Amino acid sequence: MVDSSLRPNLYQSTDRHAAIGVFDSGIGGLSVARHIRHRLAHESLLYFSDSGYAPYGDKSESAITERCFKIVDFFIAHQVKAIVVACNTATAAAIVQLRSHYPKLIIVGTEPGLKPALQMTQSKIVGVMATKSTLESQKFLTLKAQLSTESGTHFVCQACIGLVDQIERGELHSDASLDLVRSYVTPLLQRGADTIVLGCTHYPFVSHLIEQVICEYKGENETNSVKLIDTGEAVARRLRSLLEQAELDNPEQSTPQLTSWTTGRVDIVKNALTHAFLEQAISLTEYVTL
């Protein structure tokens, strides 16, 4: 358990050349790391895939928080200058406690892109795909209620149970994954959603399946009438702005490193790295127990 009575940890990095730690319950956070790599091309990244403990989405907030603290301490031992919680579920459960325990560390969270969805929707019906834990979190419920009232937009929420497991197994193209995606996306389309928020960082890995279901439902010519919102780009922008403010951005042109650890299967993380970065990333992936 995380003891909230502990004194704050005043760890702070002043090293512009230090790496950025990015973590998720599994490989999903690589969909965010990809945007970070694109926008902050000189930064070295450390990626932690907690696949041995995935999915987080059906765990209690205290169990998720405990995992987050272990991972952040691991990153601090590697002297990172910033941390990205590349997981909506972990952000909802733990970011408040993480920030209050490490007040001097840059910590960027990931939240379902409800606000960007408001800019896109014309039907004022927005579908939100996320884990059960994210959708039930107080953070999400408060934001949803506030935006609904302000904008008159209806958010149709869909807990996508089992989808993270499929992706963690590397089933990005299987019939079983397509069937599962169909069972979650079709009701959103039936309710009139013209914008779908990918409220879990794993889901961009199956955006092609989501698009296939939209195409089946709407017809080929109308596939573009439904927009998908992935928040990875917004997270990367936020990270860049915080690093610049703190004068911690790395101005060097040297080749950035990408190192990753997993509590699960190394081969799955390696495949996902190749898929996410579309390159043989200069990377090292190791199994670790934590």
From 51-59, 72-80, 242-250, 268-276, give the range in contact with ligand DGL by CB under 6 A.
51-59
List the one residue from 25, 49, 195, 231 that touches ligand DGL (CB under 6 A). 25
From 22-30, 140-148, 152-160, 210-218, give the range in contact with ligand DGL by CB under 6 A.
22-30
Enumerate residues 6+ apart whose C-beta is below 8 A from 26.
Answer: 49, 50, 51, 54, 55, 164, 167, 168, 202, 264
Would you count residue 68 as binding ligand DGL (CB under 6 A)? Answer: no
DSSP string, 2-22: --TTSPPP------TTS-EEE
Would you count residue 89 as binding ligand DGL (CB under 6 A)? Answer: yes
Greatest alpha-carbon pair distance for the chain in Å reads 58
Give the separation between CA 273 and CA 150, rounded to whole angstroms.
40
Would you count residue 51 as binding ligand DGL (CB under 6 A)? Answer: no
Residues within window 265-284 making contact with ligand DGL, judged by CB under 6 A: none
CB-CB neighbours of 168 under 10 Å: 23
In the complex, what is the shortest distance from the CB of residue 89 to ligand DGL, in angstroms, rounded to a whole number?
A: 4
Question: Under a CB-based contact definition with an 8 Å cutoff, are residues 288 and 263 in contact?
Answer: yes
From 18-26, 65-73, 74-82, 212-220, give the range in contact with ligand DGL by CB under 6 A.
18-26
List the one residue from 164, 178, 185, 243 that touches ligand DGL (CB under 6 A). 164
Would you count residue 88 as binding ligand DGL (CB under 6 A)? Answer: yes
CB-CB neighbours of 139 under 10 Å: 17
Give the separation between CA 179 and CA 157, rounded to whole angstroms.
19
Residues within window 178-207 making contact with ligand DGL, judged by CB under 6 A: 200-202
Helices marked H in the chain: 30-39, 61-77, 88-101, 114-120, 132-136, 138-151, 163-168, 175-190, 207-218, 232-245, 266-277
In the complex, what is the shortest distance from the CB of residue 107 to ligand DGL, in angstroms, rounded to a whole number?
A: 16
Would you count residue 56 as binding ligand DGL (CB under 6 A)? Answer: yes
Residue 200 annotated among the catalytic residues of the structure: yes
Q: What is the DSSP letter of 256?
A: P
- 68, 87, 157, 160: which one is catalytic? 87
Residues forming a β-bridge with 258? 45, 283
List the one residue from 49, 131, 231, 262 that touches ligand DGL (CB under 6 A). 131
- 68, 157, 160, 200: which one is catalytic? 200
In the complex, what is the shortest distance from the CB of residue 87 to ligand DGL, in angstroms, rounded to a whole number?
A: 4
Please, what is the angle between helix 266-277 and helix 30-39, to 10°? 40
Which residues are the active-site residues? 87, 200
Contact residues for ligand DGL, defined by CB under 6 A: 24-26, 28, 54-57, 87-89, 131, 134, 164, 200-202
